[in-house]
Structure formats: structure tokens, C-alpha cells
Amino acid sequence: MRADRLLSLLLLLQTCGRMTAETLAAELEVSERTIYRDIDALSAAGVPIYTERGPGGGCCLMDHYRTQLTGLTDDELRALFLLSIPAPLADLGVHADLRGALLKLNAARLPAHHEAAQKLQQRLHLDWTWWFEHATPVPYLSTLHTAVQTDRRVRIAYQSLYGGLIETEAAPYGLVAKAGAWYVVLARHDHVDAMRVSDIRQAQITAQSFTRSPGFDLAAFWENWCAGFERSRPQYLARVRVAPDLIPLLRWHFGNRIDDILTDAGSSNGQGWRVVTLPFESFEAARERILGYGRAVEVLEPRALRCSVIDFAQQIAGFYASNCGDDAP
């Protein structure tokens, strides 16, 4: 571990220039005394490193000293430094390794390029979480990651739809991060499936190894699994008449599939209103969404949904009408 720390210390000074022992200690998660011992060790090894005390002082390298890295062009290095460390890699616990690798790459650049690299990083940021979502605990992600890397079977217990725990043994083929959530791809009883890691309540690596199915491709499996999952989700279809001003907003709620919906839509009058069939997750979800659209949507079918929207709208109007007097709370 000390050799890694010495290299990190060297690269930090080469990348950042003069740094105080306190800053280096915080960065490397060691004491200041350890930093000074490491500096002595580097000096003894012939590295031109020195310290200056007092205001404006710190630890630094002689200007002529640099480590070397070849094989990457300036454009390739710039592309690498556009990336921030995404949250999924932090979840896996490999963010420190990636950060160290980027530090080594940055140390190989000419001093004049450091400012350009920092400027690039301030112009692109990757945020993989969806709106209004909080991080879901995944305490067994590290265990599953180890099992995936070593091709070892795992014994897991996961939350069923009915609240109980189901125990099983499976071969973990891979891990996938999608839209703020981790999924594990498992092979059980000659069938490959996926589940959310956050649903797993227990996970233990067994001593038994496994052999992956010949020709298995994680990316291709995930694409097919996602398509099947989206098709299998329950849908409640509602035939509605939509005002022209609302049509651009439908893409926000229904995604790119609204293009196919609008392609099949018909015009109901000369004012630009369109008759479309919109998919919702449930009857209740359809009613809630349509009420939120106000007068921009009219339900045509099913009749039960139309009557329910009218009933809720009347209840809301009646409630506010009866509470708008001087003695209203």
C-alpha cells in the first residue's frame, strides 16, 4: 500500500503543483507525519521534492521533473478528462481506482495543458439519477460484484411481490446500472433473468464456480430484457381528444412513443384537436393525469373513465365553491 501512496503523492504534486502537507494528508487519508515520511522516502529515491515552511509554503517538485506516459494523443487525453466519476462506479467501490488512473493520466500531460483539462471538466457533468429520486441502499452490490468477477455462484434471498423472502441459488452473469438503479443478471435453472439489487435482502458467495452459457452477451441480453419488460407492463388505454397546445407536452409524459401515437391519430375538427389513444399504467393513473390536463383533454372512451373524471371534477368544483365564502378556513 505504501508504494501506491508514494506514487499517488508524486502524481498529486506533479498535477496540482505546490500543496500543503495538510492538504496532501486529507487527500491521501493519512496523517501529516506520514506525508513527511513519504516525502523523505521519495527524496532518498532521487525524486527532486522539497518543502517550504511559512505562508505560501508547501510541498512541491522541481519544475523539470515529470513522469512519462506514452501512447495517448492530446485529443484522447482531453476526451478522458471530460468524464467525471459516475455514481455507479462509486457504488461499486472502484471510484478510488478510477480517480487514481485519471490522476496518473493527468500527471503525464504538460503543465500548460492542466488548465485546459480543468476547464473541460467544468463544461460537462454526468448525472445518472432521475428527477425526484433518492439513492436506494444496495448493501449487497459489492458481494455481487465480487461474484460476477470471479464466476462464483451466490445464495440470495430477495423480496417477493407479496412481502415474503424467497431464497435461491444462482449464477450472477453481470451487473447493469440503469436510470439510477442497479440490476443483477442471474442464471437459474437454465433461465437467465434480471432483478433489482435493492430487492435483495441477503447475499452470500458460495464455493461453487459456474461456467457462462456459450455466446452469452450481456448488452444484447439487457436490451431484449428491457424491451420485454416494457411490453409486459400493465396498460390502461384511454381514447381522448387532445387540444393542439397540449400535444408538445405529451412527449414529456409519454416519451418517444408519442410519435407513433400521433401518427395514428385522427383530427376531430378544424381547430387542431386530435383524437389519440394514450397508454396509462392503471385506471387511477389515467384519471389523475387527465384531471391534471384540465380542459386540454376530453375523455371519449372508456365510459367508466369519462364518468370518473367528471365525478372527480364536480367534487373538486363543489368543494371550492362551498369554501370560498368569508368564513372559509
Q: Which helix (H) or strand (E) holds 34?
A: helix 32-44
Both 257 and 304 in one domain: the answer is: yes
Query: Order of strands across the sheet with 165-178?
Result: 191-196, 181-188, 165-178, 152-159, 200-209
| 126 in any annotated domain | no
Look up the CATH number of the domain holding residue 163.
Answer: 2.30.30.520
Both 14 and 28 in one domain: the answer is: yes
- Closest by CA position to 11, among listed 108, 121, 114: 108
Among 61, 92, 108, the domain-final residue is 61
Both 148 and 87 in one domain: the answer is: no
| 68 in any annotated domain | no
| 278 in any annotated domain | yes
Cα-based angle 231, 237, 239 (whole degrees, multiple of 5): 140
Q: What residues does 166 pair with on adjacent strands?
A: 158
Q: With contact defined as beta carbons under 8 Å apart, do 138 and 87 qualify? A: no
Q: Which helix (H) or strand (E) holds 306?
A: helix 303-322
Both 160 and 214 in one domain: the answer is: yes
pLDDT digit string, tens, across residues 128-182 = 677 766 667 788 999 999 999 999 999 999 987 677 889 999 999 999 988 778 9
Among 216, 232, 248, the domain-final residue is 232
Q: With contact defined as beta carbons under 8 Å apart, do 197 and 156 qualify? A: no
Q: What residues does 237 pair with on adjacent strands?
A: 279
Both 23 and 55 in one domain: the answer is: yes
Phi, psi values for residue 132, rounded to 5°: 65, 20
Among 207, 232, 257, the domain-final residue is 232
CA 100 vs CA 76, 78, 80, 184, 246: distances in Å: 18, 17, 13, 27, 49
DSSP letters for 68-106 = ---S--HHHHHHHHT----HHHHHHT-HHHHHHHHHHHH
Number of separate domains in the chain: 4
Q: What is the pLDDT of residue 175?
A: 94
Q: What residues does 38 pair with on adjacent strands?
A: none
Q: With contact defined as beta carbons under 8 Å apart, do 156 and 214 qualify? A: no
Instruction: List, in order, residues 6 or more apart from 61 with CB less than 8 Å away.
Output: 10, 13, 14, 47, 48, 49
Q: Which residues of the chain have pLDDT under 70?
A: 1-3, 63-126, 128, 132-135, 161, 256-257, 263-270, 324-329
Both 219 and 251 in one domain: the answer is: no
**How far apart, in Å, do the first and last CA atoms of the chain sit?**
67
Instruction: List, in order, residues 6 or more apart from 147 with CB less than 8 Å away.
Output: 153, 154, 172, 205
Both 225 and 260 in one domain: the answer is: no
For β-strands 274-280 and 266-267, DSSP reports them as antiparallel
Both 50 and 89 in one domain: the answer is: no
Q: What is the pLDDT of residue 17?
A: 79
Query: In whole angstroms, what is the distance from residue 77 CA to residue 83 CA?
Result: 11
| 43 in any annotated domain | yes
Both 228 and 145 in one domain: the answer is: yes
| 22 in any annotated domain | yes
Q: Can you read off the three cell numbers belonging to residue 215?
A: 455466446
pLDDT digit string, tens, across residues 256-293 = 667 777 766 666 666 778 888 888 888 999 999 999 99
Q: With contact defined as beta carbons under 8 Å apart, do 299 and 305 qualify? A: yes
Residue 38 belongs to domain spanning? 2-61
Q: State the residue for C-alpha cell 436490451.
A: 223
